[in-house]
Chains A and B, each alone.
Chain A
Amino acid sequence: MITKKKLIDFELDVKKIYEKGLIKGPIHLSGNNENELIKIFKSIKKNDWVISNWRNHYHALLHGIPIRILRKKILDGKSMSINSKKYKFYSSSIVSGGIPIGVGLGMALKRKKSKSKVFIFLGDMAYETGIFHEAYKYVKNFKLPVKFIVEDNGLSTNTPTKKAWGKLSKIKKDIRYYKYKRIFPHHGTGSWVLF
């Protein structure tokens, strides 16, 4: 599996290229959650599906998408839509957008009696959405091979989730959850870039 150093170096490399104005699309850098993700990905197998979102670079690398392939996609301005059939990786840049698709993949795997699973990564704001709760209920009631992982950085773009909702929902016991503090801005690198 890819190391913590390689993950960090990858994002720093992307940051450098972005700041040169060479990437013509938004980037959402990951950082400060390497330890948690490395641990989580130990239980995700090659044939499992991973459903990600706009902040997907670490998920993609940890699920086996080679550095050169991911790097090229990002350089092509496609950071927000990293998709691969070969590596069973889908990302949507709409909040909660990948969740229903992950549920359908889970239904398919169950009907085929496959041993593979679906791992859906979602943020703290997505966790509060109605569609997540529909999906969670359905997956649980029909025992679909779908696991949810909540990555809580407290923010939705730059809006504090707790402030906007007034109160946060309790994290359900069967949901994998971790909290971290973002070290990069929501998108970009924090530097002024001339494109």
Chain B
Amino acid sequence: MINLKKNKGLKYKSELIRSMNYLSKNKNVIFLGQSVSYSGNAIFNTLKDIPEDKKIELPVFEELQMGMSIGLALEGFIPITCYPRFDFLLLAMNQLVNHLDKIRVMSDLDFKPKVIIRTSVGSKKPLNGGPQHTQNYTSIFKKILTEVEVVYLSDPDLIYSTFKKALNRRDNKSSLIIENGDFYNVK
């Protein structure tokens, strides 16, 4: 657990950890993506408490990953599909926009896969990752996605409730939940 004193009251990261631990208690939840089991990004640091058998480390194939997540969800799993940076999520647009976002309508609500997508705006401090690693495309995704709910996590106090809602929502809609790497160190 995070020691608040040691971390000067920061809670963005600890709330993410609390949320992930909560999600992992659901037997259908499964975490997948690059760097879910091996270090390399901020998201990894929030998944350290998750048992290995609930994580699938994947190669770099963003589009395949999103389609896989849909397939897993169609068979009852709830994938928490992790894209370490928003910039990388662009590679999964076909499966996200043409498939996940359209499958409910195209199947007359017969297929309602619940996928929780986690991504992060790359941090700019202390090192600036540059134009391919730090973009925030939240407003664009809010426009292009009609069925997938898009949430940008700016208030640490809303992190837990956001993930809780995404997991338990009765309409079974999918969510895209966006965090910001810089908030780990300031909030």
The chain A residues found within 8 Å of chain B, CB to CB, are 78, 81, 83-86, 90, 92, 94, 97, 99-109, 111-112, 131, 134-135, 138
Contact = CB atoms under 8 A, between A and B. Distances in A.
Nearest to B76: A108
Residue with the highest number of chain A CB atoms closer than 10 Å, among B74, B76, B111: B74
Contact of A97 (B74, B77, B99): B99
Task: Please classify how large the interface on chain B is, using the bins under 10, 10 to 19, 20 to 34, 35 or more.
Answer: 20 to 34
B71 A97 contact: no
Interface in B28-73: 30, 56, 59, 61, 63-73
Contact of B74 (A94, A101, A135): A101
B58 to A, nearest CB: 9
Nearest to A100: B67
Give me the 10 closest cross-chain CB pairs, A-B, nearest first.
Answer: A104-B71, A100-B67, A108-B75, A104-B68, A83-B107, A81-B106, A105-B71, A101-B71, A104-B72, A100-B64
A131 B107 contact: no
Contacts of B63: 100, 131
B172 interface: no
Contact of A104 (B67, B103, B107): B67
B67 A99 contact: yes
B68 A92 contact: no
A103 B75 contact: no
17 contacts: A83-B103, A84-B107, A86-B110, A90-B111, A94-B99, A97-B94, A97-B95, A100-B68, A101-B67, A101-B99, A103-B64, A103-B67, A103-B68, A103-B71, A108-B74, A131-B63, A135-B64
Contacts of B107: 81, 83-85
Contacts of B30: 111
B70 A94 contact: no
A83 B110 contact: yes
Contacts of A84: 107, 110
B64 A138 contact: yes
B128 interface: no
A106 B70 CA distance: 11
Contacts of A108: 71-72, 74-77
B110 A100 contact: no
A95 to B, nearest CB: 10
Contact of A100 (B56, B95, B106, B108): B95
Contact of B75 (A83, A109, A135): A109
A109 B77 CA distance: 10
Nearest to B100: A101
A73 to B, nearest CB: 9
